[in-house]
Structure 1
Amino acid sequence: MTRERVSSGTEWEATVGYSRAIRADGRVSVAGTTATDEDGDPVAPGDAYAQTAHALGLVADALDEAGAGVEDVVRTRLFVTDIDDWEAVGRAHGEMFGEVRPATTMVEVSRLIHPDLVVEAEAEAVVTEE
């Protein structure tokens, strides 16, 4: 199996033991991603639409670094702290993925890693090996 790691460069990757993304044999898995800036601070506290758009932008960056793109995504998972935000979260997801329309799951969770964060996104993509 070939295995390539993508790092976001945060201290937490080594501490927790994870990678932003992994490419292995044509599959790219992007870890749960929240809307944070370069310093790890939440972006748009409490704003489900803005946080979803930002987090998915970070997911797209990780995909790109792993040699994949949004068009290669086959599955996403969205974790929200308030399921009543489903429309705002869904709108941002739809704007990112358009006609790609990956299999998607959205679930409500009691909380995320920071109280200002209201959505976390992860993705899986399939790419042709070169």
Structure 2
Amino acid sequence: MNATIINSKKAPAPIGPYSQAVMAGNTLYVSGQVAIDPETGNLVTSNIEIETEQVMKNLGHVLSEAGMDYSNIVKCSIFVADMNNFQLINTIYGKYFQQNPPARETVEVSRLPKDVGVEISCIAVK
């Protein structure tokens, strides 16, 4: 099987030895995105809603680079540092999936890269 590395200049560069996404066949596997502003390289973490919005924008840029959008997402994984923020994160996340939301799980973890509050990865299909 052929795999193609997908990288968008509009999304933050990876902060480790991984690709933003990998296209295998018609399936796109998008690495976890955090709230880094791709233009400045700075974290956008003034509150969890703004942070979640930046994460979703970053996912959108990677999807777009692969010729997809949020409607192509079939599965998301959400990692949160504090489950007390679940409803706030869910409200922002839900704006991107008004119809036919993807499957997902939300898991509280003890720590995330750069000590952010939320990280989201996804799988999308063309």
Higher helix share goes to which structure? 1
SS of residue paired to 1:64: helix
Determine the C-alpha separation between the residues in 1 that align with 2:27 and 2:45: 31
Question: How many residue pairs align between the two structures?
Answer: 122
Determine the C-alpha separation between the residues in 1 that align with 2:48 and 2:100: 22
TM value normalised by structure 2: 0.88
Q: Give 1:86's aligned residue.
A: 86
Q: Does the 8 A contact of 2:8 with 2:65 survive in 1?
A: no
Determine the C-alpha separation between the residues in 2 that align with 1:90 and 1:11: 25
SS of residue paired to 1:100: coil
Q: Does the 8 A contact of 1:4 with 1:66 survive in 2?
A: no
Determine the C-alpha separation between the residues in 1 that align with 2:14 and 2:121: 19
Determine the C-alpha separation between the residues in 1 that align with 2:17 and 2:114: 19
Determine the C-alpha separation between the residues in 2 that align with 1:42 and 1:17: 19
Label 1:22 to 1:123 Cα distance change in 2 as closer, same or farther (>3 A): same
Deviations 1:57-89 (A, max 9, x none): 110110110122111100001101000101011
Label 1:86 to 1:7 Cα distance change in 2 as closer, same or farther (>3 A): same
Runs of 4+ more than 4 Å apart: none
SS of residue paired to 2:67: coil
Q: Is the counterpart of residue 3 in structure 1 residue 3 in structure 2?
A: yes
Label 1:67 to 1:8 Cα distance change in 2 as closer, same or farther (>3 A): closer
CA displacement at 1:100 relative to structure 2: 2.9
Q: Which ranges in structure 2 are unaligned for 5 or more consecutive residues?
A: none
CA displacement at 1:11 relative to structure 2: 6.3
CA displacement at 1:17 relative to structure 2: 2.3
Determine the C-alpha separation between the residues in 1 that align with 2:103 and 2:69: 16
Q: Give 1:102's aligned residue.
A: 102
